[in-house]
Amino acid sequence: MTFSLNVENESPSRTTLHLHGRLDAQTFNEFDLAMLDVLPGLPEGGTVVLDLSALAYISSAGLRSIAKIRRTMRARNGHTLLLNPQPQVRKVFDIVKAVPLNEVFANAQELDEYLDHMQRQITGDEPASHS
Amino acid sequence: MFLRSIASRLSLWVLAGSVLVLTIAGGVLFYRVSGQILEKAHGEATALANEAGNRIEQRLARVADTAQTLAVVVGAHPDGADLTLRGALARNADLSGLAAAFVPAAGNPPESPFISRQDDGSLDRRDLRKDINPYWQANWFLAGLSCSQGCWQRHFHSQSRQREMINYSVAISADGRPTGLINADVSLDWLSRTLKELGKPAGAYAFVLDESGTYLAHDNPALVGQRGQANLLEALATHQASHVRLAVAQNPQAQGKPVWIYFVPIEGTHWRFGLAMPESKIYAGVRQAFVQALLLGLLALLALAVITLAVTRRILTPLGTLTSRAEQVARGALAFELPPARFPDEVGRLTQAFDRMRTELALHIAELTRNAKEQQRLASELDIAHQIQTALLPGEHYLDAHCENFELHALLRPARAVGGDLYSYFMLNERRFCVMVGDVSDKGIPAALFMARTITLAKALAPRARSPQHLLSMLNVELCRNNDSCMFVSLLCGMLDTATGELVMASAGHEPPVLCDADGVRLIELDTGAALGLDEEARYPPRTLRLHADQTLLLYTDGITEATDTGQQLFGVERLLACLGRSPTGSAAELAAGLLAEVDRFAEGAGQADDITVLALNWHHALADGNALMLDLTIHASMDDVFDTLDRCDASLRDQGVSPAVRDDVRLVLEELMVNMVEHGHAGGTDRKIELHMRLGDDAVLIDLHHDGHPFDPLQVPTPALTGDLADADEIGGLGIHLVRAMASELSYSHDEHGNHLQLRFLHPARPEPDHDV
């Protein structure tokens, strides 16, 4: 079980990355290289969603890759959101306090709500109109 | 009882000795004196005999004179013979009869008158011519005729007068030829009377023997007429001695006792006068005197003995008191009165010495009692110390109950109540077992205290020690501190991986251990550092050994090798190896006990000079029963190999039913560590190796990781600054190690000349085992 990546561009400002397999010292290079293609295409203030549902395993090398993405996105006033980390990944994240807890979502619905909330903040719309 | 006293024995011996001396002296004196007495008695008796003989001689001479005178007178006037005879008889009372017998011839008177004295004193006359037997034919007449000068005839028994008579005959001559004879009769009674009239000493008796040896007269009338006894007559005949000793006297009066006979010849006759003196009478006086003297002497001696007894008793009285006091001392009583020393003699000095001795003894006993109490107190303290020291030591037998991988037997026997030998063993963690044997310099209480210090420190420091050499270094530093007495301890410390049998040892000046197995017995040579407590800078090189099944490692102290026998020979390493080689089985208990017994036999009679400790560690290698060995790999330190290995581990764990969570933890930790080794630990080399051993315990996964690269202790890496967002910092180091420390249930690190050694343990609670004990 090695690593694979699916990139889904849902909108110009939002890209979802589906991670599969293990992100470790053997595979993080592959992931980093892929990111070099993906990230520059995102607009200023864009959002990257890392879908971790299928990521079975992560090691410190993988953490560093994710940290790199987050730094890149932060430099561009963007956001890096994590979706549905599996137990091992969650455990690793917990141990090293990898990301703020409010940027980790257990499922797509929570993520959507968060994204809507962010949208409203930007556009100034009332939340009720979208409910 | 009486003879137990010295005084009584002394007086008795004085008495006995004096009596002996007195008796011998008296006997010699008596012998010497008796000779003189005898000589004197001889003289006196001879004189007496001579006197008596002379008196008899005179009497007989008067008879003879009378007869010769009558012969002349009657020869001149034969007719008046009758009157002449009568007149002569009347005048001489000694005569009992006178006869004038003529040869019957012409010219001779016709009558031969015989005048005899009757018993009543009147004179009787008889004419012999008219006798029936003609006298002229009788022997006495014929013999008398030839006796012109007169001679005594043989005695005869007179029929007419009824008595023994002897007669003296003198021939009457006329013209030169005998015409008759005058016969004078004397009765033997007269002779006997004469003998009786002699003044004789009491008990003596006299006799007269005629020429034929017949008694003419004797003080004992019964013997008259009998012949004298043969030895008497023989003595008379052979030598002319005037006296002779008869051993047995003839006379019953002498009662068969020896007599002395003194002889005197009677002139004019052939007779002999004899005086018999009983020998006892001769000596009677002197004997009596001697008996009296002896009695007196005995009395004097008895008195002497009594005086000796009294004086000796008086002198020895203090000695008796001293004796009873000495018996009291023997019973333990020292308080008593002593008699005052009256004189400065031996007894006085003895009394004073005894008094001094009593005082000194009392002081001495008091001191001894004090010392004994002190000793007792010390002994009880030592006893307690011994118990405390024993409590410091773990049990003699240890069986790894968890997996029965190994078994340990230890025996410690101090030379005194407490000693400086020590052994200890304990589990450092689930896997590592620490064992040590040590020997403190010196013996006794100081050594015991130092031993207690050492063993306590060792226990306290061991959990922090990564390796035996580390533990020894830490112990050394601690023991060097304030060690002014310069005591030191030699210590052999080993840490055993109970899963693999890998044993790391380090020695601080201790005897090398011995390894016993089926191949034989051999010393494990290892470089040793200085003994603990001497040099703070000392280093202790480790030695790693892999124990195989049924191997026994024997640790000991120099009490074994330096045990000496009565000939001052050392037990030595050769005997040690030989003894272990003879052991039939390799069990720890038998090896330890057998060795100790051998040393005891060797040192029998010489006593135990030093503390003795033996510790035998037997490796069973019962691995399959407990910890299942899952992987035992050696790989090149490269990324590909690392990840290949991670997959194999994962697969193994999955096969063993280990939960995915644990598997992920294991994988993460191994990845972080091994990637670290590959990336940072090559130390310039390209052919670094990584060894990995993985086992599954009851409740944990156990992993050994060895890497021969650059020393790197993950435990020493600082915790990274975790802000809550990894993106806060440009590059965060130590994340992997942080994860490792968080994930692994236990982690230990050591480094030696072989490289880095990591031991990992992951709790594995999900393993479905009903007898699971947590």
Q: Name the maximum alpha-carbon separation found in chain A.
A: 48
- What's the CATH number where A33 sits? 3.30.750.24
**What average pLDDT does the segment B696-714 reach?**
84
A24, A64, A87: residue with CB nearest B661 = A87
Q: Which of B187-191, B308-312, B697-701 has the highest mean pLDDT?
A: B308-312
Q: How many domains does chain A have?
A: 1
- CB proximity A130 to B under 8 Å: no
Per DSSP, which regions of B710-771 are E strands?
746-752, 755-763
Q: Check CB contact of B675 with chain A, cutoff 8 Å.
A: yes
Residue A16 domain flag? yes
Residue of B nearest to A59 (CA): B668
Nearest CA-CA distance, residue A68 and chain B, Å: 7
Whether A50 is covered by a domain: the verdict is yes
Average pLDDT over every residue of A53-64: 92
What does the pLDDT read at residue A17?
92
Contact B435, B424 (CB under 8 A): yes
Six token digits for residue B197: 């009239």
A9 found inside a domain: yes
Say yes or no: B131 contacts chain A, CB-CB below 8 A.
Answer: no
Partners of A56 on chain B (C-beta within 8 Å) are: 664
Tens digit of pLDDT for each residue in B444-484?
A: 888 999 999 999 999 999 988 888 999 999 999 999 988 88
The pLDDT value given to residue A131: 39
Tell me what the mean pLDDT of segment B426-445 comes to.
Answer: 87
Q: Is residue A66 less than 8 Å (CB to CB) from chain B?
A: yes
Residue A1's pLDDT is 64
The answer to whether A74 faces chain B, any CB pair under 8 Å, is: yes
At B377 the pLDDT is: 94
The answer to whether residue B86 scores a pLDDT higher than 70 is yes
What is the band of B772 on the pLDDT scale with cuts at 50, 70, 90?
A: very low
| Residues B281/B202, Cβ–Cβ less than 8 Å | yes
3-state secondary structure of B246: strand
Size of interface A-B (CB pairs under 8 A): 72
State percent of chain B over pLDDT 90. Answer: 16
- Residue carrying the six token digits 């200890």: B424
Residue B627 has pLDDT above 60, yes or no: no
Give A-chain residues touching B672 at CB under 8 angstroms. 59-60
Position B764 confidence tier, pLDDT thresholds 50, 70, 90: confident
- Percent of chain A scored above 90 by pLDDT? 35
User: Looking at residue A130, what is its pLDDT?
Assistant: 44
**DSSP per-residue string spanning B723-736:** -S-GGGSS---SHH
> Two tokens at B35?
């000779």
pLDDT above 50: residue B771: no
Which residue has tokens 């030829």? B177
Taking an 8 Å cut-off on Cβ atoms, the answer to whether B736 and A74 are in contact is: no
User: Model confidence over B516-550: pLDDT tens digits?
Assistant: 888 888 899 889 999 999 988 999 998 888 888 88
B564-570 LR contacts (CB < 8 Å, sep 24+): B564/B603, B564/B606, B564/B609, B565/B602, B565/B603, B565/B604, B565/B605, B565/B606, B566/B604, B566/B605, B566/B606
Q: How many angstroms separate the CA atoms of B474 and A122, rounded?
A: 65
Q: Assign 3-state DSSP to chain B and report helix, strand, coil percentages, each to 5.
A: 45, 25, 30
Would residue A15 count as lying in a domain? yes
- Is the full-model pTM beyond 0.80? no
Long-range contacts of the stretch B386-390 (C-beta < 8 A, 24+): B386/B414, B386/B417, B386/B418, B388/B452, B389/B414, B389/B418, B389/B419, B389/B448, B389/B451, B389/B452
pLDDT of residue B774: 37
ipTM, two decimals, is 0.90
HSE, side-chain direction, 13 A CA sphere, residue B571:
27
Q: Picking from A62-66, B2-6, B163-167, B383-387, which range would have the lowest pLDDT averaged per residue?
A: B2-6
**B155 — pLDDT class (breaks 50, 70, 90):** confident
Share of chain B above pLDDT 70, in %: 96
Residue A91 lies in a domain: yes
Got the DSSP string for B146-184?
Answer: T-TT-EEPPPEEETTTTEEEEEEEEEEEETTEEEEEEEE
> Where in the sequence is the domain holding A110, given as residue range(s)?
4-126
Separation in Å, CA of B703 to nearest CA in chain A: 19
Q: Region B584-601: what's the mean pLDDT?
A: 84
pLDDT at A19: 93
Quote the pLDDT of residue B770: 42
**Average pLDDT along chain B:** 84
Which pLDDT band holds residue B589 (cuts at 50, 70, 90)? Answer: confident
Structure-token pair, residue B182: 């005058």
Task: Give the pLDDT confidence score for residue B1 in this predicted structure.
Answer: 56
Mean pLDDT (whole number) for B378-403: 85
Mean pLDDT of B717-739: 82
> Which stretch of DSSP H or E encloses residue B546?
strand B542-546
Assess if residue A131 is contained within a domain. Answer: no
B668 and A57: CB-CB below 8 Å? yes
Residue pair B492/B538 in contact by the 8 Å Cβ criterion: no
For residue B228, what pLDDT is reported?
82
pLDDT one-digit tens code per residue, A72-108: 898 888 888 999 999 999 999 989 888 888 888 888 8
Q: Is residue A38 part of a domain?
A: yes
DSSP string computed for B345-373: SHHHHHHHHHHHHHHHHHHHHHHHHHHHH
What pLDDT, on a 0 to 100 scale, did the predictor assign at position B476?
94
**pLDDT over threshold 90, residue B766:** no
Of B583, B563, B582, B561, give the one whose Cα is nearest residue B572: B561
In this predicted structure, the answer to whether residue B513 has a pLDDT above a threshold of 80 is yes
